[in-house]
Amino acid sequence: MELNGVEIEDTFAEAFPIKIGRVLITAIDTYWAEIAATEATGFGTSVIMCPAEAGIEKFVCGSETPDGREGVYIQICHMTEKGLENQLLARIGQCVLTAPTTAVFDGLPDSENKFDIGNKLRYFGDGFESKVEKYGKEMFAIPMMEGDFLVEANIGYTDGVAGGNFFIFAKTQPSGLMAAKAAVDAIQKVEGSITPFPGGVVASGSKVGANKYKFLKATTNERYAPSIKEKIENTAVPSNVNAIYEIVINGLSLEALAEATRVGIQAATTVDGVVKISAGNYGGKLGKYQINLVDLF
């Protein structure tokens, strides 16, 4: 099929289960909330080598936060519950508690699954911390040099979906990057989804394992590398394509991930120079979820 004159390949993206913690960070203004969120989600592109996958989900105004201040929702993703708890504790403790004017709230208040992150972070108060009821929530106030750091006692997590993706084939690198940016901007408006790679865009689409260097978990996906398309017998790169960008998506649910994929593709196909949209899969061997691109439309 075609969308806005761009071919949508009849294929599927393959995704897999993951544990996701969702956190709301508030601060005196959007600048400081974003600073804390960016730090807390750093080194979080892929579980291949990063300690977690992480990203900014959405920005919210004061009317949507418990304390009436500007806020940012982030997601931290890990394959195991224990690993997720450790990452939430480390990232909130080292990157949010240390940031000016921040406070931390549970981003999944309706979830039955909770980690007592606030209760563990309170020990930084060295006995001077206190449990308080504030904004209708059980929180800990930790005295610091700028004033109290407030953190909700418990942070929720859920079973989510990771590894959703689509590929943008473009005539030039600038047009491909413009399309990728448009896709990420659209996805950020979908509640419950994140794009964990730098700026939401993957320049280094990979395959599992290696043909030559067997000690590596992942290596370049040579079939999708335009610079060597004439050297690869089974290349997937059309003759008029000189850049391919991948958008990887994690979601709190399969529905959120599918909707993020749909709006991302729709936005990408509005950019001149985009030739084709495809997706990465391993024949259903990597994950139990399959998002068929054509079915989204």
Asked if 19 and 159 count as a contact pair (C-beta separation under 8 A), the reply is yes
Residue-wise pLDDT tens digits, 24-45: 999 999 999 999 999 999 999 9
DSSP tag of 110 = T
Tens of pLDDT along 60-73? 999 999 999 999 99
pLDDT digits (tens, 9 = 90+) for 74-106: 999 999 999 999 999 999 999 999 999 999 999
Domain boundaries, the chain: 2-14+160-296, 18-158
**Two tokens, residue 18:** 């993951």
Q: How confident is the model at residue 282 (pLDDT cuts 50, 70, 90)?
A: confident
Q: Which distant-in-sequence residues (6+ apart) come within 8 Å of 192 by Cβ?
A: 57, 251, 252, 253, 256
- Which CATH architecture is the domain 18-158 placed in? 2-Layer Sandwich (3.30)
Q: Letter for the amino acid at 40?
A: A
Q: Which CATH number applies to 2-14+160-296?
A: 3.30.70.520
Q: Do domains 2-14+160-296 and 18-158 have the same CATH topology?
A: yes
> pTM for the whole thing?
0.95
Residue 219 Cα to chain centre, angstroms = 21
Q: Round the average pLDDT of the chain to a whole number and report it.
A: 97
Q: What is the pLDDT of residue 99?
A: 98
